[in-house]
């Protein structure tokens, strides 16, 4: 049953139950008063007990019951209604499907969870893809290599876009970042991914690795999962001057909930890919 249908069903049910609760409380209260009236002016153990029972039903049972079920529930409902109005006023454009990793790169398990949603294609845009290579070389196979292998078995195509290590923009970027070893790191990672590609190609899997070289600085790292599909997903982070790439906040975006933003980033990724050279 859809959430809205459940809500539509629950609302009248709660009101109906609330009326029965209230009626039960009133009956218990009247019964207590009636017992007190019947025993009024009479003496003896039985009548004294009847008075006490009447008092107990009216005061100790009925009144707290009515407060809990009627008055208190109304106060609670009023609070929830006011809270809902406050959220709607403060966050009128809020949508789910956007997750922020403020402290930097998400954990390997978080990234694998994103990749495992892929049905057709994963496009990875970056400069050297050192973290990707590190996941293969430095982590247990079960954490990263095996999930990638399963996706390749399902026919998912992985496209990796590297910054061309021989381009002038790569040299300028390395100099600007003060990373004299960046060019060599790009070449090392590129060769490592080529080795992985050869390894998987030999297995004859439905999916495959594709490697691209770009002479355009991407300005961001991105992992785009099924970008052409309605349920596409994208993990992005900009390249910030003076900040280590692993420390830059990352955004996990759902195309279904944030289509305009998703399509904007996807257009940039496609532009870089179309101007890249396949190797």
Q: What is the pLDDT of residues 191-213, one digit of tens each?
A: 999 999 999 999 999 999 999 99
- The pLDDT value recorded for residue 196 is 95
124, 223 contact by CB (below 8 A): yes
> What strands lie across the sheet with 157-163, from one edge to the other?
98-101, 250-254, 233-238, 220-225, 121-125, 157-163, 208-214, 277-278
pTM for the whole structure: 0.65
Q: Residues 212, 217, 222, CA angle at the centre, nearest 5°?
A: 65
Specify the length of the chain in residues: 279
Q: How far apart are alpha carbons 187 and 213 in whole angstroms? A: 11
The interaxial angle of helices 108-115 and 145-153, nearest 10 deg, is 0
Q: How far apart are alpha carbons 38 and 119 in whole angstroms? A: 77
Model pLDDT for residues 32-51, shown as the tens digit of each residue: 667 767 766 666 667 667 76
Low-confidence spans in the chain with pLDDT less than 70: 1-26, 28-29, 32-33, 36, 39-45, 47-48, 51, 54, 56-96
Phi-psi region of 21 (alpha: psi -120 to 50; beta: other; left: phi over 0): alpha
The DSSP bridge partners found for residue 214 are: 163
Q: How far apart are alpha carbons 260 and 258 in whole angstroms? A: 6
- The pLDDT value recorded for residue 276 is 96
- The pLDDT value recorded for residue 73 is 57
Q: Residues 206, 125, 123, CA angle at the centre, nearest 5°?
A: 25
| 114, two tokens | 């994103």
């Amino acid at each position: 049953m859809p959430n809205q249908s459940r809500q539509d069903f629950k609302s009248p049910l709660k009101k109906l139950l609330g009326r029965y609760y209230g009626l039960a409380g009133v009956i218990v209260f009247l019964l207590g008063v009636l017992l007190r009236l019947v025993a009024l002016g009479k003496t003896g153990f039985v009548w004294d007990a009847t008075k006490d029972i009447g008092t107990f039903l009216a005061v100790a049972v009925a009144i707290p019951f009515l407060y809990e079920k009627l008055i208190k529930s109304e106060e609670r409902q009023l609070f929830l209604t006011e809270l809902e109005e406050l959220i709607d006023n403060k966050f009128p454009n809020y949508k789910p499907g956007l997750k922020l990793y403020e402290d930097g790169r998400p954990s390997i398990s978080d990234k694998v969870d994103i990749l495992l949603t892929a049905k057709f294609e994963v496009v990875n845009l970056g400069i050297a893809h050192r973290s990707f290579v590190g996941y293969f070389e430095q982590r247990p196979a079960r954490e990263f290599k095996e999930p990638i292998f399963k996706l390749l078995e399902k026919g998912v195509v992985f496209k990796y876009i590297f910054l061309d290590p021989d381009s002038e923009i790569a040299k300028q970027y390395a100099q600007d970042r003060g990373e004299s070893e960046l060019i060599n790191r790009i070449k090392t990672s590129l060769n490592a991914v080529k080795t992985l590609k050869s390894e998987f190609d030999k297995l004859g899997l439905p999916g495959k690795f594709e490697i691209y070289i770009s002479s355009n600085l991407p300005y961001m790292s991105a992992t785009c999962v099924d970008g052409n599909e309605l349920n596409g997903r994208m993990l992005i982070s900009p390249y910030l001057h003076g900040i280590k790439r692993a420390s830059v906040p990352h955004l996990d975006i759902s195309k279904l909930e944030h289509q305009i933003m998703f399509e904007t980033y996807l257009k940039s990724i496609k532009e870089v890919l179309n101007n890249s050279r396949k190797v």
